Structure 1
Amino acid sequence: MTASRWRTELRDVCELVLAPSIAAVLPWRWAFALMRQVLPHTPWYRSAADAAWREFEARPAHALLPATPAERNAIGAAWRAQRQLVSWVDHADHYLARSRGDAWMRDHLRVQGQWPQPGQAALLLTFHWGAGMWGLRHAAAQGLEPRALVASTEGEPFRGRAVLGWYAKARTATVRRALRCDPLDVTGSLRPAIKTLRAGGQVLAAIDVPADQAASAEAIRVLSMPAAVPRALHRLAVEQKVPVYVYLTGFNAATGERTLHIHALGVYEDASVLVRDVFAHLERAICQDSAAWHFWGEAPRFFRQTEPG
């Protein structure tokens, strides 16, 4: 094994195992308070936070942080520290979900809005924003059986990274455990999703994946920037005439208290209108906490260089 490979594996051990597993050992408020103070002084998640800040600062989205050039460095340091904290909480939830029951969720999660009734077919959409594990757990606790669309744990991102591969598989298993049902494989077609909806089930997905991973894309604007987003699930919701819900799971950066906001959008007749309404929620979430969006590092694949036609 090369020195570079050793460094990568060691970093993954620290960021994916050692640092986040602290949440399973200490009471949550203690773990959160400790890591909130410690993380800015560690290299954990720093390279990803630096890359995310560069993408954020290079785009018109930086207007979300009005500042003179002299203030930019201080604001950038705070933004990157918040990005490190978001990464830690997101990974910590894998260990929390394995070690804490629904009583923990009732104590720490503040919920606004309502899920569909059990047995009601619905599309449950969210984004790679905040830390979403407890949104899954809460949906299952309310009697829903959401079938999640999960990313592959094979391929180029995992090549030469044994710890990352193990963690991805373990996290997918945690998602399955949180939802109390198996995920859906729709790599070949959407037939499994159609079957689930027709049986009165729910299909759950993080919808802000780069459009180059999708067979069809919709051109929209997000944060005043042209973007391309997948439209297949939106089209499915229109064709199957099922209601759409958007939910966001975040946390209070000062206290660590978790938040879940559920928005019922209803049934749509136009997929393009639905796409715009869904992504308006992502835009508002980024305006609320821009560092909480995990895909700034993927921004070149998400945002377009030309205006939507």
Structure 2
Amino acid sequence: MSVQRYRQELRDLLELVLLPGLAAVLPWAVCFRVFKWLAHLRFLYRDPCERALAQAQARGWVGSEPGAAARWIWSRRLVTLVDHADFYLGRTRSDAWMRRHLDVEGHWCPPDQAALLCTFHWGAGMWGLRHARAQGLKPHALVAALNGDHFKGRTVLHWYARARTQAVTDALGRPAMDVSVSLRPAIKALRSNEQVLAAIDVPSDQVLSSEVVSLAGMPARVPRGLLRLAVDQKIPVVLYITGINLDTGRRHLRMRVWGVGDDVSTLAQAVFGELDGLIRQCPPAWHFWSEAPRFFIDTEAEAAAQATPAAPASPESPASP
């Protein structure tokens, strides 16, 4: 093992197992105080947090007053710590723990009703899954395939990703689905009056079709496939978010049941309008700031591309008919 890989494995072990794993052995009130202190350590989650901060600063989402950047990245680290800790809490805490520490607002759809349960990569969502199952729902989570090539040289990260995916399945009591090839498994579940659950704010370069919405005051491309499925199958959408009080460590779960949409674009604007509001409420809690270029549209670059005449096809590269 090279020195570089050895250091990476040690960092993954610290950031994904040892530190967030404290939640499994400490009372939550004590653990959260420890996490708030750890979030001041600049080396923790350094690369993704610094990328997120840089992207948020470039788009005007970090204040210019003294200390604003430090507070922003502290919040980002704390959200990351809690999100990872939920894997260990979910393995070691009962539904009684959830009832004590989770404030709930709103309600789910009836357990025997097909629905698309949507959330975002904002806050920490594990307890939303546990609560849905506790209320009798039967959701199937849509997850990305864990391609081993993506984890080359990072054994700890690969283990953690597989274990976390299994934790989602265990929390819901239903097998997860990989619909990267076909939506047929999801359609089958919906026709059986079960629910399909997904975090729908993924980069549009991972999907076949996208929609332009306003997000954080900027044009962004977001996936539309699942919303198209809901419209086509006349399935109601339930939007839920699971947030964190960064002062106290308490969680809050908010659900909103939407009616059946009849237009994908209108539904996408409304649903992602909710994410826009969440980002405005607590910008560092959105996990995808570091991937911002894959969401937000560079309007100047697109305008320049449209203004540039297309080059004529060369004999070596004939134009497609």
Which TM-score applies when normalising by structure 1?
0.95
Q: Does structure 2 conserve the Cα–Cα contact (< 8 Å) formed by 1:113 and 1:263?
A: yes
For residue 294 of structure 1, give the secondary structure of its aligned residue in structure 2.
coil
Deviates more, 1:230-239 or 1:40-49: 40-49
* 2:251 counterpart of 1:281: no
1:3: Cα distance to partner? 1.2
2:214/2:276 contact within 8 Å kept? no
- Structure 1 residue 39, shift from structure 2 partner: 2.4
Structure 1 counterpart of 2:33 = 33
Choose from 243, 250, 265 the match for 1:257: 250
Measured in 2, the distance between the counterparts of 1:6 and 1:246 equals: 42
1:35 CA displacement: 1.3
Cα shift at 1:264:
1.4
Gaps of 5+ in 1: none
Alignment of 1:124-203 (within 5 A): 124-203=117-196
TM-score by length of 2: 0.91
Q: CA deviation at 1:304?
A: 1.3
Letter in 2 for 1:56: A
Is residue 99 of structure 2 the alignment partner of residue 103 of structure 1? no
Which runs of 5 or more structure 2 residues have no equivalent in the other structure?
304-321
- C-alpha offsets along residues 248-284 of structure 1, whole Å, 9 cap, x if unaligned? 1011101100110111121100011011111011011
Equivalences, count: 302
SS at 1:13's partner residue?
helix
Give the deviation of 1:306 after TM superposition. Answer: 2.4
Separation in 1, partners of 2:294, 2:39? 28
Match of 2:317 in 1: none
**Which residue does 1:16 correspond to in 2?**
16
1:157 & 1:48 partners in 2: Cα distance? Answer: 16
| Structure 1 vs Structure 2 CA RMSD | 1.4
Tell me what 1:222 maps to: 215
Any idea what the Cα deviations from partners look like across 1:104-128, whole Å, max 9, x if unmatched? Answer: 0000000101000111000000010
Distance, in Å, in 1 between the alignment partners of 2:29 and 2:163 is 25
The structure that is helix-richer by fraction is 1
Task: Give the Cα separation in 2 of the matches to 1:57 and 1:295.
Answer: 14
Q: Identity of paired residues, percent?
A: 54
TM-superposed CA distance for 1:221, in Å, is 1.5
Q: Distance in 1 between matches of 2:140 and 2:299?
A: 35
Q: Deviations over 1:192-232 (max 9, x none)?
A: 11111111010000000000000111112212211111101
Q: Are 1:116 and 2:109 an aligned pair?
A: yes
Indicate if the aligned counterparts of 2:214 and 2:273 stay in contact, CA closer than 8 A: no
Q: Is 2:211–2:221's contact at 8 Å kept on the other side of the alignment?
A: yes
